[in-house]
Amino acid sequence: MSQPSPSDITPVRNDWSRAEIADLFALPFNELLFNAQATHRRHFDPGQIQISTLLSVKTGGCSEDCGYCSQSARFDTGVEREALMSLEDVVVAATRAQAGGATRFCMGAAFRSPKPKQMNAITEMVAAVHELGMETCATLGMLTPVQAQQLKSAGLDYYNHNLDTSESFYPQVVTTRTYQDRLDTLQAVRDAGLQVCCGGIIGLGEGEDDWIDMLHTLATLPAHPGSVPINRLVRVAGTPLDSEPPAQVDPLDFVRIIAVARILMPASHVRLSAGRGEMSDELQALCYFAGANSIFFGDKLLTTDNPDTNQDRRLLSRLGLQPEPAGHGRAVDHLSSERGAAGID
């Protein structure tokens, strides 16, 4: 299937009301999925899925207190503080990921915000991976406008900075930075001309109102995130959220969140992210039908487990899904931004 032409694509809206999003959640399940799949087909090849790889280039020792995170220095999770990886090792990992079918390479570092010396090393990594012809992504904590521009100049395509949850529920998860801090970093990233990768985590103890509020914030940003990761909480021993009573999120509600995200942000890649290792094949298949079209390959997502690559390949084969060609993400995002610049959004 060829890339959709502008005439085939429904307008991308940034003016969704909270009530409209609540109405989507209230739709009968089959009707919601029908609408999500129809939306998906207008913007993407339904038989393709984007393959990304995530590498922790600096693990542990973060000063933040995100209640779900294994890398916080405040919690005893068994994750040791490690030095920043060498440029050579990062290039080897990226080359291996590319050979395995990944078209996007994401580099994560456990920083509250990177220091100048760290930025110098990270920009070298970005430039080297960019030279391989892969899409590049980084998640390094909070950024200043100058830092965002440095990453853009090095060849970075995407910057990940998740909202995690709704603004009202956020203080129950993180206290060392504010919701506005996150929004400010996203603004710096957009102003530098970088694509945003931004989503959230389901199962923190929040409820449907928080899902609606988080998706409303994402869908009404000045430009939709190019990638929207939807994570299912992975409980890590030693973190505050591991000691909380389990948040029982109905699997079908998780699929609803994927479907609503697809309808609200039709030109974005919706990434089925953390927590896939605990999902059945059937649940993952429903998520793909609801509009998820991006995953991470590899046995680790930073420090938490991810499905075995061969297991993923078997499931994708059973579903008839093929890896999305390299560069498709850039093309769709460019088309979306052109439409916005023309006033179509």
CATH number of the domain residue 78 falls in: 3.20.20.70
DSSP state of 101: T
- Say which of 41, 42, 62, 339 is annotated catalytic: 62
Establish if 69 belongs to a structural domain.
yes
- Say which of 66, 182, 232, 276 is annotated catalytic: 66
The pLDDT of residue 280 is 92
The pLDDT of residue 307 is 58
Contact partners, residue 31, CB within 8 Å, separation at least 6: none
- Say which of 13, 42, 69, 232 is annotated catalytic: 69
Establish if 321 belongs to a structural domain.
yes
- What is the pTM for the complete model shown? 0.86
Q: Are 253 and 209 in contact (CB under 8 A)?
A: no
Instruction: State both tokens at 45.
Output: 């090849």
- Say which of 42, 81, 96, 106 is annotated catalytic: 106
Domain that holds residue 229: 16-337
Query: Which DSSP helix (H) or strand (E) runs through 107?
Result: strand 104-109
CA 194, CA 159: separation in Å to the nearest integer?
Answer: 7
Contact partners, residue 273, CB within 8 Å, separation at least 6: 199, 229, 230, 231, 232, 295, 296, 301
Q: Are 166 and 201 in contact (CB under 8 A)?
A: no
Establish if 10 belongs to a structural domain.
no
Establish if 3 belongs to a structural domain.
no
| Residue 318: active-site member | no
Establish if 343 belongs to a structural domain.
no
Establish if 149 belongs to a structural domain.
yes
Averaged pLDDT, groups of 10, the chain, 345 residues long: 48 92 97 96 93 85 80 73 88 88 87 88 94 91 94 94 95 92 94 95 94 97 94 85 76 96 96 87 95 77 58 88 72 37 27
- Say which of 104, 137, 232, 262 is annotated catalytic: 137
Tally the domains of the chain.
1
Bridge partners (DSSP) of residue 138 are 107, 159
Instruction: State both tokens at 340.
Output: 């916005």
Establish if 5 belongs to a structural domain.
no
| Residue 198: active-site member | no
The pLDDT of residue 151 is 95
CA 68, CA 71: separation in Å to the nearest integer?
Answer: 9
- Say which of 182, 197, 232, 276 is annotated catalytic: 197
- Say which of 177, 232, 271, 276 is annotated catalytic: 271
Establish if 93 belongs to a structural domain.
yes
Instruction: State both tokens at 58.
Output: 């600096």
| Residue 271: active-site member | yes
CA distances from 271 to 141, 183, 252, 268 (A): 20, 20, 17, 9
